Every structure is written in structure tokens, then in C-alpha cells.
Chain A
């Protein structure tokens, strides 16, 4: 099946109109010696029924999380992408062809649907983060964070360097390093954590003496802990640096103070938790918000409200002179395509959730996570290394070997979380565990019992 509609008669008529004998004549400008002599070596084409059954087979080999499928396990695995309940309405609406098969809204008169939806997404992100302005989306939380560091250097042209907490998602740390790989390594300063699992403010104070352009702090951090943002932001502002706050589960903002209300200069992160599947890690939806005064140094697309020539409210892409298609090598970023449909899903989800729903959702996540913690705290073979407040994710330390415990728990029907030693060799046998509203009490109890059985 190749989705091309022409009949032989069509092709003949078109070739005649063009004035060539055959299709090959249309490729006559490509020198013969470089043309392929053989067909591409690819598997045979599949008609739709076989295609569907082949792909179902591939997908069914995978073990899924928490969906009651044939190979599904109960999972407590988060670490930057979170499984929340997704209402049916979200995919039904976002799957409409009018949204799905439109391009970037360059022609506003036939793109008002996309444009208004983006304007609403920008508003949602501002409301959640407590910031003035947000863009149409970024690829993901990691690249949004790297772009925020670049933006800080556009704001503070005379400064150079970034400080980040080691409790920033390790992949985000890597992406910052990649985006800025042509920098001297002395421009990167890393800050460790205290026994609470929070950023070490004394170390931060010291790092700020080098007058970096930006400081990046994630809250809830990679260990699930709410960072002392108020204190940290005060220190950062005193030093004149740009404070970047990362949040990769903004459902937490239904319960915890918004970074914008604490004085953050740039807030970035991941809005996947709102209506988007974990999907083996993508596509997700990065968000990017800042203060009004910095809007012209922002990366990415922005939609603004304006009027049409009939006097009606209308929306359009705006402030495009920051962007690559106008400014080329002097653009604020190279980003073009972003994560449109994923942002739309987030907007639909947030519309359904509403003001009270957001608070309820955050409270459910917090309470269930606290409940599992309270069950596990009664177990002798487990300890809790960090004392800080957490949201819906926390670290526990096994007394036995992480690999053995992990394997045994899988046999018991659980994917227990993520082991931290891959990124933090100094934290062997530590598990990062995520609990959301999708986990009923009975599963939390069963998991505790399983852990009791297998922990040594």
C-alpha cells in the first residue's frame, strides 16, 4: 500500500502535458552513474491487515505498566516521566484530523484552532508556574532546560557559566553539557545535596562567588524532594544570576508553591504528566516560561492575540523576528517544529481537570506516596536516606543487593522503580519510587508485602 492515487491513464495524461515520454525522463538531471541500479533492500510491503498484526505482535512483546494488559506489571517507575490517568476525551479530541494534519500555523486565517489552543496552552503554563509569559512548547524538559541556560547568557551578556544541582535529572545535566559542549568545562559547576536530599545552600553560595550567568534547580528534584526554592532564589538573586527552576511533574503545582511566586526568572520543565502517555519516553512536551521583561530573548514560537480586518479577535504567531526563519544565524534558537499535539493534549487535560481537580490530583499523589512511605517505614530491611519533603516520588535504600531485589520483585509482578546507581555510583542499592493516583491502596499494600518477602 503506497497511498498514491494515480491510475495509468492519469499518469499518461500528466506526462503528455509535461511533454516527456516517461517517469524516468523527469529524473534526467540526475547523472546516470549515481542512480541506483537495484531496488532498496527492505522487507516486503505489508497490506494493512498484516501491518496491524505485525505491529501488534511487536508491541505485545513489551511489558506494559499498570494497564491490566496480558503482560502488564504494577509499576512504580517515574524518574522524569509519569503515568497518570488520561481521560478518553484527550486522545479523541487531539486525534481530530483538523488538529493532527495541520502544519505550523503560518496562515492564521485557516489556523485559528491551533493558534487559540496554543494561546490557551501558554496561559495554562503561566497559571501553573506563576510566570508572565510562556511559549508554544519545547521538545522536552531536558532541551528546554538547556535552552534556558542559553537564554540566561543572552540576558546577562557579560557573564558566563552555569551552576546546576546534582539533583537535577541526570539526563537534563547531560543535555546541558551537550548543548554547551564548545564551552570550557570550568564554566560548569555542580552542587551536591545535604542529608535531607536538598541542594546544599552553603555550596551554592560558594559557587555563586564565581558570578555565573545561571543557576538551575529542579523541584521536586530527581530524588522527589521539594527544594528550598525560597532560600535558594534569594541567594541567586543577591548574586545577580538568572534563576532557572525546572519542574518535570507540574501536577505538583496543585499543592506546592509556584516557582514564579517565589521569584524564578525562568521556569522550564515537562508537561507530559498532563494527558500525555509515557510512550517509552516520547513524544513529551517541554514548557518554557519567563518574566515579561525577558520575552524578546526567549526561544521558540509565541502566539499573540490581535484583531482581523473585520474587527474580530484573532490569534497569530508573533515576535517572530527572534526566530530562525527570519533571523537565521542571529536567531535566539534554531527551534522550528515543537511538540504541538502534545501541548494540545496538555491543554485538554488541564481544561477537564480545572481548579479544584488540580488540587485534588496533587493531594491524591502526595497522600498515596506518603501512605506507601508509612507502610515501608515499618519494614526493617529498608531505610530512607533523605529527610526532605517529597511529592509523589521518593528514594529508599535496600539493605540487600539492588539487582537481586529488582529481579525478584519483577517475578512478584512489580516494576519497583529505578535504581540510582547508574547515575549516582555513590548511591548503591537505592531505589527511586513513584506513586500516582493510578495506584489503589491494595497495590501499595501488596507491593510492601512483596518487598518484605524478597528483601534480604
Chain B
């Protein structure tokens, strides 16, 4: 019997919903027409019907329930996907986000009629400011990458206000792919900093820093799970040349209540509420990527912000220096509601314990796995890690087994694999982030399963090469999918 919870079982097939269509069926009862029927001019009307599937309500329920059973989620088991912070998404937050007083309110209804919503936005902004040490926070961006775009636009607007937008942004080679993509989108040239031994060193930054550099964009803790210890010195070097420092807050889960990024020389950062603050990822969103800034950058924040005056919460008109709006309305409000509820449930002691337990779990995994899997840098081996750690497939490669094989075999054992082949600077990376909500038993099962896999690599390589065996589909032909893209159903 394998160490993990993975077992083979009965799965039910589901064709595409379009393939289940039978003319004349429907699954929705609309209100009757109680006014005279009107029709628009023929020249404007649709000539051919839109062929939506014709299915019953039960058919829809079974279809999507079956689809859901083909998914792995946090509610099913450990999901140690590095840099993604797949922690438990408290169910109470789902119920709160479905309160009619939050779902049935319109962004353009008068402020006096939305005081509860505006107060929530106001209080969440203040909580995020307190947690991060930033002075103001815009809750508008829809996701981390949009937060980055906002941050970089703010950097540009700041430099423009001084007469020169500057040309380049420095980004370490360990950064998330969205970092350079966001800089390009904002019209900057990206200069990649080669990191030695997994850590950003101040002398490397000093060599690259000049008056053309608008900002340094880093992630702290970085994607190798290491705290950038020289952060203050590095920030000073950048500031001395008139540059700004951006922090990707994807890894904030490691440091809540321990340090404040705003006190370390960071000028602008984004949060991922769908990581650190437990809002569900939803198989790819919606998230929320608020942006925090220090005072000097506050005038450039996107609209709208909420202020309190005379006991009333008001939508603050956008100033002339604002970078403008990046999204319709107030951002992903119902995601903000979930994050607000999470912060209110945990409070200061809960947030600090969250970071402590996240770090404890990652270090425990590192300690238990370091004999079976290779750690890529001396710094990773030597230091305690933060909330995540990175291994490689170096020890398994001698048997012809790669990171991909290890990941696919872990599926059979009943776990979602770690993030693989990222960060790019680590060959064959396996980036593990257990999060604070996993119990010791779950973590032990995960570790035992990974050790079993490292033994299987020696003894039964074929088992890994052909993995996964227990999943509803086997290894998927991704190359074929890209060569001849079939991106929709056609009758």
C-alpha cells in the first residue's frame, strides 16, 4: 500500500455538454412575457440561431458534478504548489461573500446606499497597510499580474513627474514570469540580474544601477524560499541613484507579523489575496492583486480610493497624477470580502502564527527530504528556508528519471505535485510550498510518498516514466495540442 492517500476508483465519463444536446430540451424556467411582445428591426436581428446546447437541469447538474470529480483541489488533499500558497480556503468566507448585501449591490448606486461595502474597502485597505508597512493601498487590480502592471505604471508616472521616465527595470533571474512581462507592457526594457547562489547581492545591484534604471523589481522572500537579507542595503543603492524598489508580494505568507516590507526600503508592492489571504484560486481565478505604496507614490495610485469623513465613507475623486483606472468599477469586490473576513478571523496573532507555521512546515519538509532529493544551492542547504523550498532531480537523473516523472508519479500517490521547472535558474526544479494549514500527518504522507518515488526511480523506472496510472487520463500529449490547436467544439 502506498504512503499517500491515492487509490484507483470508479470515475464517470462526461461528454462535452454540446454533445449531450437534444432539440427541445431546456434547463431554465424564465418568467412569462407579461408585456406586449416587441421585435427590433429585421436588419439588426440575428440570422442564424446561436446553437447553445439543449439539455435538462439534471443533465447540467450531473455534467458539472462529474467534471468536478476529475479535478484535484485543496479540499481533496495537499497541494504543495510552490509560490502559489495553496492554503485552506475557509468555507465561512464563501458564505459571507454570498450575502445578498454584498452580491446585490451596484457599483454606481449612491454612496449613501453602499456604506457597508465602502467601509469594508476602507478597513481592508488599512489592514493591508498595517501588515505591509505601506502607506496607501489600491484594491482595484484584479490579480497579481495586474497589480504589477499598476506598480510599474506608478513607477513610470513618478519618474515622468520628475521629467524623465527612465528606460530600464532590473529583475533577478529568479523572478516570476509576470514581472518582466508587466515591465514590457509598461514600456520598459528588462535587465536580468544573474543571481549567485540564490541570493541577490548588493554589489551586483550596485554594478548595474545607473540613472537609466527606473526600478529594481524583486520578490522577498525570493522564489527559492530565501529571505533577501541585504534588502536594506540594496534599496539604498537603488534610491541613491534615484530609482525605486518594487516587491512582488507573492511570498508574503512567510513574513506576516515578522517584518514589514515598507520598513525595508520597498516603495511599491502588490499583494495576492488569492494566495496569502486565502481566497480560492477557482481553477484560475478570480484573484485580487492590491497595490501598496509609500507616501511619495500615493498621488499616482489608480482610482478609486475610499476615504472617511464625518462618519461617512466616500469614493475619493482621482487626482491629476493618478495613473488612471485599470479595471471597471471597484476591482474584484467579492474577493476583497473573503480576504477581509479572513483577516478579521485571524487578527494579528493568527497572521503571525500563519507565517510561523508555514515556515515550520517548509523547513520540516526540507529536513526530511534532503537525503533523498538534491538541494541546488549552498545557501538553500545552509540556511533555514522560509515558506517554501526548492529541490532538483539531480539525484534521480542518474536513473533517467526527471522532475516531470516525479511530478506525474506523485499524482498516483494522491498529491498535487510541487511547482516544477521553476525558478528557471534551477535545473529540474521542484518547488514545494506546504502552507500552514497542512497537518504533520499530511506532510509526513507527502514526504513518505516522495521518498517512495525516489526509491522507485532506482528500482522501477518504468513505473515513473508511464505515470500517472490512477488518474482519469494518462499523460497528456501537450506537443500535439499545440501543433494542431483544437480550441473549441464544432458540430
Contact of B319 with A by CB under 8 A: no
Answer whether A337 and B67 are a contact pair too, CB < 8 Å, given A109-B474, A175-B326: no
Contact B356 A282 (CB under 8 A): no
Contact A181 B102 (CB under 8 A): no
Which of B274, B326, B407 has the most C-beta atoms of chain A within 10 angstroms of its own C-beta? B326
Stretch at the interface among A159-167, A187-195, A248-256, A394-402: A248-256
The B433-462 residues at the A interface (CB cut-off 8 A) are 436-440
Contact of A294 with B by CB under 8 A: no
Q: Which residues of A contact B89 (CB under 8 A)?
A: 100-101
Answer whether A109 and B468 are a contact pair too, CB < 8 Å, given A2-B354, A100-B94: yes
Contact A40 B348 (CB under 8 A): yes
Contact of B310 with A by CB under 8 A: no
Q: Which listed residue, B18, B104, B130, touches A278 by the CB 8 Å rule? A: B104
Contact B48 A45 (CB under 8 A): no
Q: Which residues of B contact A242 (CB under 8 A)?
A: none
Contact B478 A306 (CB under 8 A): yes
Contact B184 A105 (CB under 8 A): no
Contact A69 B325 (CB under 8 A): no
Contact of A206 with B by CB under 8 A: no
Task: Name the prevailing secondary structure of the B interface residues.
Answer: loop
Contact A337 B274 (CB under 8 A): yes
Contact B117 A314 (CB under 8 A): no
Hey, what's the 0/1 contact readout for A98-131 against B, CB within 8 Å counting as 1?
1111111111111111101111101110111000
Contact of B400 with A by CB under 8 A: no
A-B CB contact pairs (8 Å), 21 listed: A10-B439, A17-B367, A18-B367, A27-B258, A34-B232, A46-B347, A62-B116, A67-B104, A99-B73, A99-B283, A102-B283, A113-B283, A255-B45, A282-B334, A283-B334, A284-B328, A304-B485, A306-B476, A318-B487, A339-B142, A353-B52
Answer whether A277 and B104 are a contact pair too, CB < 8 Å, given A105-B283, A305-B481: yes
Q: What is the bound-complex CA distance between A101 and B90, given in angstroms?
A: 10
Contact of A444 with B by CB under 8 A: yes
Contact B177 A325 (CB under 8 A): yes
Q: What is the bound-complex CA distance between A307 and B114, given in angstroms?
A: 50
Contact A175 B475 (CB under 8 A): no
* Given A257-B45, A316-B477, 19 new contacts (CB under 8 A): A14-B440, A19-B367, A59-B96, A85-B30, A93-B61, A102-B283, A143-B327, A261-B48, A279-B105, A280-B333, A282-B331, A312-B474, A314-B476, A324-B177, A341-B283, A352-B28, A360-B30, A364-B33, A371-B36
Size class of the contact patch on chain A: 35 or more
The B44-78 residues at the A interface (CB cut-off 8 A) are 44-55, 57, 60-61, 63-76
Q: Which listed residue, B49, B384, B411, touches A26 by the CB 8 Å rule? A: B384
Q: Which listed residue, B26, B28, B258, B407, touches A107 by the CB 8 Å rule? A: B407
In this complex, what residue of B is CB-closest to A355?
B52
B261 to chain A, nearest CB (A): 10
Answer whether A54 and B285 are a contact pair too, CB < 8 Å, given A109-B411, A279-B333: no
Contact B104 A356 (CB under 8 A): no
Contact B181 A324 (CB under 8 A): yes
Contact of B299 with A by CB under 8 A: no
Q: What is the bound-complex CA distance between A232 and B37, given in angstroms?
A: 29
Contact of B209 with A by CB under 8 A: no
Answer whether A302 and B14 are a contact pair too, CB < 8 Å, given A2-B346, A65-B109, A283-B332: no
